[in-house]
Amino acid sequence: MSADGRTNTGTERIAAAFAVARGEGRAALMPYMMGGFPDRESSLAVARSYVENGADLIELGVPFSDPLADGPVIHAAAVQALEAGTKLGDVLAICREVADRVPVVLMVYTNSILGGAGPEAFAARAAEAGACGVIVPDLPFGEDESIRAAMDAAGLAVVPLVAPTTLPERRDEICRVATGFVYLVSSVGTTGERSEVAADLKELVEGVESKSEVPVAVGFGIGSPEQAATVGQIADGVIIGSRLVRIAGDAEPGGVAEAVGSFMTETAAALAVEAASSRTVT
Amino acid sequence: MSRNVAESTAGELPGRFGPYGGRYVPETLIPALDELTLAWAEAREDPDFTERFQVLLRDYVGRPSPLYLASRLSEEAGRKVYLKREDLNHTGAHKINNAIGQALLAKRMGKPRIIAETGAGQHGVASATACALLDLECIVYMGSEDIRRQQPNVERMKLLGAEVVPVEAGARTLKEAVSAAIRDWVTNVADTHYIIGSAVGPAPFPELVRDLQRVIGDEARDQALQAEGVLPARVIACVGGGSNAIGTFTAFVPDEEVELIGVEAAGLGLDTDKHGASLTAGNTSVLHGSLSAVLTDEEGQILEAHSVSAGLDYPGTGPEHAHLRDIGRARYVAVSDKDALAAFRRLSRLEGIIPALESSHAIAWLLGEGRVGEGDGGYDVLCLSGRGDKDLAEVLGMEDIQ
Ligand SMILES: Cc1ncc(COP(=O)(O)O)c(C=O)c1O
C-alpha cells in the first residue's frame, strides 16, 4: 500500500523493492521457484522460506510442458509439477500467499497466457493474485503486442530479456520499453548452473544500464553465494534459479523450506558482505 | 553477424501467415533468426546458389520426380489419380529437398555444425546425407523410443557420419527431439545451423522449408498440365508438420478451382486423445516457436500426439496450413491408423508401390471418404511423400495387417 492507501501497481512495487536494496548498497536477491514443485505443499513452503530468508523479489515459475528456455533441472521440475496436476490456479494461490510481503513476478510461457481465456483474462487473474509482473521467456521483444498491452492495462510489468547475442540497436530498443526491470541472460544457453560467471558480464550489464530507466537483474547460471556476490557487484539484481530448484528437489520431504532457506541466508549474507566491502573500498 | 543484418531487419515484422507463425523463442535466438532470414533472402536471388541447388536436385536427388498415372489405383478411386513420386528421391522421401537446400545455406553462412531432429528417421537420414555430401558436422536428436523403433535408420545415420543423440524427456518421440534441438541451438548458436525437418518452427523456418519444398508442386503442376491439358480437380497430401503438403500445394494455391486437401492422422480416432490431427481437432497455440494449430489442454499445455506413422506423430503443424484452413483455401481431414494401414497394403498390391505410412494416410482418404462417383471427368494429384521400406518392421509386427 502507498501512503494514501491506494494499492500500488506491480511496476511500482518492483521499483520499490529494488530501491530498498539499493538503499542498503547491495543488489536485490531474486530467487526463482517452480510452482507446484516438488509438490504443492512444499512449494508453498519454499515461497514462505524465500520471504523469511532475504528475498527482495520472488520469481514464480508456472510449469509448462515444453519450456524451450529451460535446461534439464527446471524442465524436469515443470514436468513433475504438471504430472502432480498443478494448474495455473495453484501457482496463483502460492502467489497470493506471499505477494503482500514480497513482490512476485511470474515466469510464464506464452501458452499459459494464451491458453484458457486469453491475455486479458490471464492478466486479470495474475493481478488479482497480487503478481507484480511477468517474464515470458518465449516472447521476445516485438513479437506479440496484444500480450504486452493486456499486462500494461492490468498494471503488470512486462520484464523483457536481453541476451548476450542481442545486438546493440535491438538491446537499446528493448531497454527503452522495459517495465519493472530488464532481465539480462548472463550467458548463451538455457537455464542451468555454470561453473563460472561470464567474463564479459560487466560489459553486458553496462550496455543495458546505459540505456535503461529500470534496474538490471542478471540470471541464468548463478549457482553459488560467491557467484551471486560477484554478480551483485555489477548488477542491480541477482536471480538464482536452477540451483534452488535442485536444492528443493533433493531435500528430504519436510526439509524443503530449511534447505532452500539456508542457501538463501548464505547468499543474502554474501551479497551484504560484498556490498559492505565495496563501500569501504570506494 | 554483421551490423547490416540488424539494420535491414530492424522494425520488420517477422513472418506471419494471417495471425499464425511468428518467433516465440528465447531472445538468444533472435539474432540468428534475423541472420537466417537475410541469408535466405540473399541466397535465393543468387544465381550461383540456385544453380548449385538445382544441379544437386537433378543429379543427386533425381529430380524431377515422375508424375505417375496410377491406373489400377484410379479404377479403385473412381477417377484418374496421378502420384507425385517423392518416394523415388534419393533417401526415399521428400525430406531430402529441404535438407540439401538448408545444408547448402548453412555452408554459405559459414556454419560448420548442423543439428537436426528426427522422428521416424527420414529427416535425420536426409540431413546426415546432405552433411556427408557437403562435409558438415551433423548431430541428430532422436527420442529414445524412436531410436528403439527405427533402428535401421539409426544405423544409416551413423554410417553417414552423423552423431545420434538420444532424447529421454517426455514420451521420448518427435516433439521432445525438436525441443532438444532448439535447446542445443540456443546454446551453440554461433557456429550451428538447425535444419528443421518440416514447415514448422519460428520464422523464417516455415517459409524457408516451403520455398525448398515447393519444387514438388511446381513440377507436378507442369507435369499435370502436360499430361491432361487441364488442372487437377484435387491435390492431396498428408500433413505431419506439413512440409510435403505445403510443398505440393504452393504452386496450386492461386488456382482457385483446384481443391487442396491435407490429410492428418486420426490415430485411434478423433474422439479419443490418441491422434495427431491438430488442424482438425486442435487449438490455436504455440509450439516450437510458432503460433499455429496445436493439440493442447485447456491451460495451453501441449498434449502428446499419437499416430501409427512416426512422421505424423506430432502435436503441431505448420502455421501456413492453419492460415490456409482459416481462409478456406485448403481443407483438412483425418484418417485413422487402421485405414492408413489398410491403404499401405492396398497400394502395395495395386501398384507395386509400398508407400510410407505417412503417405498411406493420403491414399486412405482417397479410397475412403474422398472416393468420387464414376463418370466424374476430373482427376487428382496425390503426393506420395515417401516409400515404406522404413515401416516394414513396424507394420509386419502388427497382427492386424495379415
Ligand atoms: C515420408 C514422409 N511423409 C510425410 C512426413 C510428414 O512430414 P511433413 O508433414 O512435414 O511432410 C514424413 C515425416 O517424417 C515422412 O517421412
B206 lines ligand 1 (CB under 6 A): no
Task: Reply yes or no on whether the pLDDT at B7 is more than 70.
Answer: no
What is the mean pLDDT of each successive set of 10 residues along chain A, which is 282 residues long? 59 96 97 97 97 98 95 94 97 98 98 92 97 97 91 96 95 95 92 85 94 95 94 97 97 95 98 74 42
In angstroms, the CA A134 to CA B265 distance is 37
pLDDT at residue A279, as a whole number: 53
In angstroms, the CA A254 to CA A41 distance is 10
Is B21 at the interface with chain A, CB within 8 A?
no
DSSP SS3 for B54: helix
Cell of B36: 537466417
Instruction: Select from A13, A40, A90, A20 the least CA-distant residue to A253.
Output: A40
B120 lines ligand 1 (CB under 6 A): yes
pLDDT at residue B14, as a whole number: 58
Is B6 at the interface with chain A, CB within 8 A?
yes
From B66's Cα to the closest Cα of chain A, the distance in A is: 40
Residue pointed to by grid coordinates 523469511? A52
Instruction: Select from B204, B198, B158 the least CA-distant residue to B177.
Output: B198
**pLDDT tens digit sequence for A87-126:** 999 999 999 999 999 999 999 999 999 988 899 999 999 9
CA dihedral (B87, B90, B92, B97) positive or negative? negative
In angstroms, the CA B241 to CA B56 distance is 25
Q: Residue length, chain A?
A: 282
B311 lines ligand 1 (CB under 6 A): yes
**Which of A64, A83, A143, A208 to probe by mutation at the B interface, max B CB count within 10 Å?**
A143
Cis peptide before B166 (omega within 30 of 0): no
pLDDT at residue A188, as a whole number: 87
pLDDT at residue B397, as a whole number: 82
Is B174 at the interface with chain A, CB within 8 A?
no
Asked if the Cβ–Cβ distance from B186 to A68 is below 8 Å, we say yes
| Global confidence as pTM | 0.94
Residue nearest to atom 10 of ligand 1 (CA): B243
Phi, psi of B302 (to 5 degrees): -75, 135
Mean pLDDT of B364-372: 96
Residues linked to residue B16 through DSSP beta bridges, in sequence order: B21
In angstroms, the CA A247 to CA A227 distance is 17
* Domains in chain A: ranges and CATH: 10-281 (3.20.20.70)
Q: Is B352 left (phi over 0), alpha (psi -120 to 50) or beta?
A: left
More confident of the two residues B13 and A137: A137
Q: Using an 8 Å Cβ cutoff, are B39 and B106 in contact?
A: no
> Which of B309, B321, B361, B365 to probe ligand 1 with, by most ligand atoms within 8 A of CB?
B309
In angstroms, the CA B172 to CA B147 distance is 9
Contacts of B23 in chain A (CB under 8 A): 140, 143
| DSSP state letters, A13-79 | HHHHHHHHHHHTTSPEEEEEEETT-S-HHHHHHHHHHHHHTT-SSEEEEPP-SS-TT--HHHHHHHH
pLDDT at residue B402, as a whole number: 47
Contacts of B179 in chain A (CB under 8 A): 66, 68
Is B12 at the interface with chain A, CB within 8 A?
no
**pLDDT tens digit sequence for B302-317:** 999 999 998 999 999 9
> Which of B312, B354, B392 to probe ligand 1 with, by most ligand atoms within 8 A of CB?
B312
Instruction: Select from B260, B235, B273, B279 the least CA-distant residue to B329.
Output: B260
Active-site residue B111, yes or no?
no
Helical (H) or strand (E) element with B183? helix B174-187
Cis peptide before B204 (omega within 30 of 0): yes
Q: Residue length, chain B?
A: 402
- pLDDT band of residue B169 (cuts 50, 70, 90) is confident
Task: Reply yes or no on whether the pLDDT at B8 is more than 70.
Answer: no
Give the count of beta carbons closer than 10 Å to the beta carbon of residue B110.
9
pLDDT at residue B294, as a whole number: 98
Residues linked to residue A184 through DSSP beta bridges, in sequence order: A162, A218
Contacts of A182 in chain B (CB under 8 A): none
Output the CA B59–ligand 1 centroid distance in Å: 23
pLDDT at residue B9, as a whole number: 34
- B157, HSE (Cβ side, Cα atoms, 13 Å): 30
Which amino acid is located at B170 in the chain?
G
- pLDDT band of residue B110 (cuts 50, 70, 90) is very high
Give the count of beta carbons closer than 10 Å to the beta carbon of residue B261.
22
Active-site residue A100, yes or no?
no
Distances in Å between the alpha carbon of B87 and those of B60, B124, B169, B386? 14, 16, 32, 4
